[in-house]
Amino acid sequence: SGSAANLVLAANLARLLQTSTYPAYSYRVKFCWWGAEEVGLLGSAYHAGVAKNSTVLGERIQDYLVNLNYDMLGSPNYIFGIYDGTTANRNTTPANAIPGSVRLSELYRDWFINQSLPWTYTEFSGRSDYGPFLAAGVVASGLFSGADDTKTKDERDYYDQLLGQGQGGIAGATHDPCYHQTCDSMANINPFAYEKMVEAAAYVLEYLGRLPDLKSWLYPASQIKELEKSLSNTSLQKYDPAAVFYQGNNL
């Protein structure tokens, strides 16, 4: 569902940019589909590694302002999950990437609130393809509809409250019973969840694309300086994708 959403965003942005009524962004947008995520984020880690060593303008890691990650967006027993930037690992995440990541979490959250939709913060653990970029100091965020975690009764009741009785899913069941299973097909996607997640992703893309100074918005100097001061006694450790990625036994 995440790959399909990425393609939908790319195709629609390309279509809009070909019209005379849709002004171009001031920033490049690169749509990526990473390989070998489940065996250690190999594709995204390789790309980030090449960017770190690149001297080609536009391809260097410092030329990447933000990474938006859409791994799973249509889980059948879904949550409207938003990566919680405040939970970024302070031991592996450079201070300059944290304030902007938190700001993005709040941007997604406010969209769901304004749409009268439920939302859930999920751990920003580096366990998806944004991880190598975040560890390289690139602001990151994204959406996640849930995998093998169990939907709690409180979670179900909260979603019922905003979506209508019986619409909040099944308490005690995993968010995606077909995660890493052969039943993970088109029929496994929840159309309502997928549509709303794509709408949220499109909103954030458009919002960021229209900012006059995206870099300053994502990397607020005063907040970064304050955070660096509070983390002055913390030694930054090397991020190891193989130690944090999702591992499935039934691929």
For 178-218, write each residue's pLDDT tens digit.
888 888 888 889 999 999 999 999 999 999 999 999 999 99
**2 CB burial (10 A radius; 0-12, 13-18, 19+):** buried
- Please give the angle made by the CA atoms of 59, 17 and 30, to the nearest 5 degrees: 20
Whether 29 maps to a domain, the answer reads no
Helix axes 2-17, 191-209, angle to 10 degrees: 50
Q: Reduce the DSSP state of residue 110 to 3 states and report it.
A: helix
DSSP-derived letter for residue 146 is -
- Please give the angle made by the CA atoms of 131, 248 and 246, to the nearest 5 degrees: 15
Do residues 84 and 98 make contact, with C-beta atoms less than 8 angstroms apart? no
Whether 67 maps to a domain, the answer reads yes
Do residues 121 and 85 make contact, with C-beta atoms less than 8 angstroms apart? no
User: Rounded CA gap, 140 and 134, in Å?
Assistant: 6
What is the set of active-site residues?
37
CA 139 to chain centre: 10
Low-confidence ranges of the chain (pLDDT < 50): 246-251
Tell me what pLDDT residue 247 has.
47
Tell me what pLDDT residue 237 has.
87
Tell me what pLDDT residue 244 has.
66
- Domain extent at residue 153: 2-19+34-234
Whether 200 maps to a domain, the answer reads yes
Tell me what pLDDT residue 86 has.
96
Whether 161 maps to a domain, the answer reads yes
Tell me what pLDDT residue 185 has.
82
Residue by residue, DSSP assigns 21-42 as SSPPPSS-------S-GGGTSH
- Into how many domains does the chain fold? 1
The backbone torsions φ and ψ at residue 174, rounded to the nearest 5 degrees and listed phi first, read: -70, 160
pTM tops 0.85, yes or no: yes
Whether 141 maps to a domain, the answer reads yes
Taken in order 121, 122, 123, 127, the sign of the CA dihedral is negative
Do residues 180 and 249 make contact, with C-beta atoms less than 8 angstroms apart? yes
Whether 250 maps to a domain, the answer reads no
> Domain holding 147: CATH number?
3.40.630.10
Q: Reduce the DSSP state of residue 235 to 3 states and report it.
A: coil
Tell me what pLDDT residue 9 has.
97
Whether 248 maps to a domain, the answer reads no
Record the tokens describing residue 88, joined without a space.
């970024």
DSSP-derived letter for residue 144 is E
DSSP-derived letter for residue 194 is H
Whether 25 maps to a domain, the answer reads no
Residue of 251, 247, 239, 216 lying closest to 48 (CA atoms): 239
